Amino acid sequence: MKKRTKIILISIVCVIVGFLCFAYITVMNPFNIGIKPLMPAGGHNDSGRHLEVSFTYTKQRLIASSQYAFWIEDMDGNYIDTVYVTQWTANGGFSYRPHSIPKWVSAAQPANKSDIQIDAISGATPRNGDYVFTWDFTDYNGNPVTETEFRFFFEGTMNNEDDVLYTGVISTGTKQWSDTPAPIYTMQDSEYKGMLSNVRVSYFP
């Protein structure tokens, strides 16, 4: 009887320890300490001519936050391709929360995209860490683009209408270059400016 009771107590302790570990990883570890960042889905291969955007992401543990998108337009403002967008917004979250990365929604028109097109460019909101997205100079249909200049946009919704936007011109050619675009905030006194930081855009011919 005592042996059986001991086994039951050990089993209960193991369940409690397992639950506490799970809670720590998913809820109580706001900085994801000890967790290796996962590369998000979406994006394109980086063989040959390509563009890279590298950045540091810090998740904001708030409702209506932590959504972002990186996309390309031509110099006339026509949408070309989305390199990456957070899954919640892309899969219809924009209809529930109209201010979730609104510039991307206006440009990409996700409501008119197929499930296959959305799946190809979106992924779950990643963990804290450093990330790199690449664009291989194709449009959203996979066709090579022929223009020599483009404009990139990197938009993040940090908290409700508190947004950040990085933008700049992509000049193609035979020389490699890098740029560190300055952030544009909708609220200059925002306390959530750390969501997207260390943004760097590089071109590889």
Give domain status of residue 36, yes or no.
no
More confident site: 107 or 125: 107
Answer yes or no: do 129 and 60 share one domain: yes
With respect to residue 35, please indicate whether it lies within any of the assigned structural domains: no
Whether residues 8 and 82 share a domain: the answer is no
Q: Is residue 40 part of a domain?
A: no
User: What is the pLDDT, as a whole number, of residue 37?
Assistant: 35
* Distant-in-sequence, close-in-space partners of 144: CB < 8 Å, separation ≥ 6: 137, 138
What pTM does this model have? 0.77
Q: Are residues 142 and 92 in the same domain?
A: yes
Q: Chain-wide mean pLDDT for the chain?
A: 83
Same domain, residue pair 20 and 74: no
How many Å apart are CA 45 and CA 134, to the nearest integer? 7
Q: What is the dihedral of CA 173, 177, 180, 181, to 10 degrees?
A: -10
**90 three-state secondary structure:** helix
Query: Does 156 lie in the same domain as 62?
Result: yes
Q: Are residues 25 and 55 in the same domain?
A: no
Residue 19, pLDDT score? 43
| pLDDT above 90 (res 110) | yes
d(CA 65, CA 63): 6
Q: How confident is the model at residue 16 (pLDDT cuts 50, 70, 90)?
A: low
Residues 23 and 63 in one domain: no
Asked if residue 12 is part of any domain, the answer here is yes
Residues 95 and 169 placed together within one structural domain of the fold = yes
Answer yes or no: is 167 within a domain: yes
Q: Are 180 and 107 in contact (CB under 8 A)?
A: no
Residue 1 pLDDT > 90:
no
Q: What is the DSSP string of 45-83?
A: --SSSEEEEEEEE----STT--EEEEEEEETTS-EEEEE
What SS3 state is found at 182?
coil
Q: State the Cα–Cα distance between residues 104 and 68, nearest whole angstrom.
A: 9
Q: Tell me, yes or no, whether 19 and 92 share the same domain.
A: no
pLDDT for the residue numbered 28: 32
Q: Could you report the per-residue pLDDT of 56-105, keeping only the tens digit for each?
A: 999 998 888 999 999 999 999 999 999 999 999 999 999 989 999 999 99
Of 8-12, 15-19, 59-63, 197-201, the least confident: 15-19
Residue 43 is assigned to a structural domain of this protein: no
- How many domains, the chain? 2
The verdict on 65 and 15 lying in the same domain is no
Predicted pLDDT at 35: 28
24 found inside a domain: yes
SS3 191: coil
138, pLDDT greater than 60: yes
What is the pLDDT, as a whole number, of residue 197? Answer: 97
9 and 99, same domain (yes or no): no
Q: Verify that 148 and 179 share a domain, yes or no.
A: yes
Q: Is the pLDDT of residue 122 over 80?
A: yes
Q: What is the pLDDT of residue 83?
A: 97
> Residue 12 sits in which domain range?
1-30
